[in-house]
Structure 1
């Protein structure tokens, strides 16, 4: 691939398994790690229009299939991880970790504590409208900067992203480079204490020492077993998985966690195919048991290995 004047790192046939929390997946055609926004813009301007682009964060909520990705993967690094607090706003680069943003905001007396226990980086948090403890990115979002597939630098507001539960709308091939959030004031010590308590609760209830990708499935939307509107319940994915008898279920090296049944684990040696097959088996069993169709929260991309 001929791209002139880039200052970042372009790597052909880059294995992606080591870049995901589940440690599975095949190679991307190319991996590009831009030096800064202008480097990214220059790269995308020159990239042939037919080449697919896949922006990738820290791989915390991702399964890359075993055959890899026929695309250029864009992975942002040090030039995109700054965090700035000003007044009642926090602006963070897309590569800044959610936990670091929460802590830096708390130091400045700003409450973004809901981000503290969310795995991953700000780019993914915005794209997925990540949330925890009743707060979502959409509740605090002011604006985002993106670089389009053609290399333009644009600013988007909430109306452009159309926030929904665990999803947003982005232009195809666009790379989010930074986001600004509005935060309520708070006492730094109290904010840090709250986050410490959240971490303790998370570690007690979730398999934080295992190879996971966070929650596997979205919590089901309001569900009525009788069809009556007044019987609608807010269900948790782990509960319907338990009810279907799939807590601890295994395929190959993949397992639904015994500690929290909505967490898919690579126990060692799992392939992406094992993980995805187990997830699909869970979806099938839950549907048979309750009529509820679970929706994947983990993003799955790429191609399976060809059958032998």
Structure 2
């Protein structure tokens, strides 16, 4: 019996969409990976809470965004994958003179556009982040020298038991590409603080971000964005290049020739190919410079039988 067949009666009051054996390769930007045992797309915050309250505690829950910074392994994901719907969690509206409230499923680029329309500065960097608000909150996403934590005032979240929490900026425990907020929390929306600015100045900064992305990043490829976090005192791409890994391939998985901290699927790369490529690059960089790169891309799920990937350890 499928997970839904075993638990379906519990979801009588749930309004969102439930899919059994969902194809994660259709969700991730890498276009690779196995099946999710069950995929749930809640209608809104209340629906999300309802679902979590009736879901047995022993069922694993995994939250994904728009799939941009995500590598799903070929064995698939056990339990429930929750993906917030654009209709229920993709809105943005102004609150007061200088704040915007945005749903966690809102693409970062749309948050930047909404700030432009509202005449609020400080959001231009979101124009260059290929993800959603929820992911930006979780990993303190940043670009062009600015980070998410600089704009966050408060965050609404639902825990595994279906209870609502409101977190302050301090509660999020931000550090470089990291938040120490409990992984049990599913972010639903956030209130962002901006500052009044002239439309021309905001647009110029956004254009600068866009020009930089188009000039140096393989944005039209099947990619997950930056593969590794920048090590202290250096850049990941510099260390990858120094190790001779620009353009390095494993099957159809390749470190981009344009920006070698971007891993791309050039054809039919599997999750195994992509993760093997990443771990091989980590090993070669460490052998060249002694630096241990840490993944920025989130890897989820089980390896397919006989297709495990050895994690490099220094």
Q: In which range does the TM-score fall when normalised by the shorter chain? A: over 0.9
1:214 to 217, 225, 233: 225
Q: For 2:258, what is the secondary structure of its paired residue?
A: coil
- Please name the residue that 1:97 is paired with: 107
CA RMSD, aligned part only? Answer: 1.0
- Correspondence 1:147-226 to 2 at 5 A: 147-221=158-232
Task: After superposition, give the CA deviation of every residue in 1:64-89 in whole Å (9 maximum; x if it has no partner).
Answer: 00011012011111111110123111
Which consecutive unaligned segments of at least 5 residues does structure 2 have?
1-6, 308-314
1:82 to 81, 91, 102: 91
TM-score w.r.t. the length of structure 2 is: 0.92
Q: For 1:40, what is the secondary structure of its paired residue?
A: helix
CA distance 1:163–1:273, shift in 2 (3 Å): same
- Please name the residue that 2:119 is paired with: 109
Deviation at 1:169, TM superposition (A): 1.9
CA contact (8 A) 2:144 2:209 kept: no
- Please name the residue that 2:66 is paired with: 58
- Please name the residue that 1:228 is paired with: none
Deviation at 1:30, TM superposition (A): 0.5
Deviation at 1:197, TM superposition (A): 2.2
Q: For 2:156, what is the secondary structure of its paired residue?
A: strand
Cα distance in 2 for residues equivalent to 1:236 and 1:172: 28
Deviation at 1:181, TM superposition (A): 1.1
- Please name the residue that 1:118 is paired with: 129
Answer yes or no: is 1:273 the counterpart of 2:283. no
- Please name the residue that 2:149 is paired with: 138
Cα distance in 1 for residues equivalent to 2:181 and 2:270: 30
- Please name the residue that 1:35 is paired with: 43
Deviation at 1:55, TM superposition (A): 1.1
Cα distance in 1 for residues equivalent to 2:250 and 2:147: 33
- Please name the residue that 1:23 is paired with: 31
- Runs of 4+ aligned structure 1 residues displaced above 4 Å come to none
Q: For 1:116, what is the secondary structure of its paired residue?
A: helix
Equivalences, count: 296
Cα distance in 2 for residues equivalent to 1:307 and 1:217: 26
Q: For 2:276, what is the secondary structure of its paired residue?
A: helix
Task: After superposition, give the CA deviation of every residue in 1:225-271 in whole Å (9 maximum; x if it has no partner).
Answer: xxxxxxxxx21100010100000000001000000000000001000
CA contact (8 A) 1:29 1:70 kept: yes
Cα distance in 2 for residues equivalent to 1:44 and 1:288: 45
- Per mean C-alpha deviation after superposition, the further-off stretch among 66-75 and 152-161 is 152-161
TM-score w.r.t. the length of structure 1 is: 0.94
Answer yes or no: is 1:68 the counterpart of 2:57. no
Cα distance in 1 for residues equivalent to 2:289 and 2:50: 51
CA contact (8 A) 2:73 2:272 kept: yes
Cα distance in 2 for residues equivalent to 1:9 and 1:132: 34
Cα distance in 2 for residues equivalent to 1:105 and 1:170: 26
Cα distance in 1 for residues equivalent to 2:292 and 2:196: 40
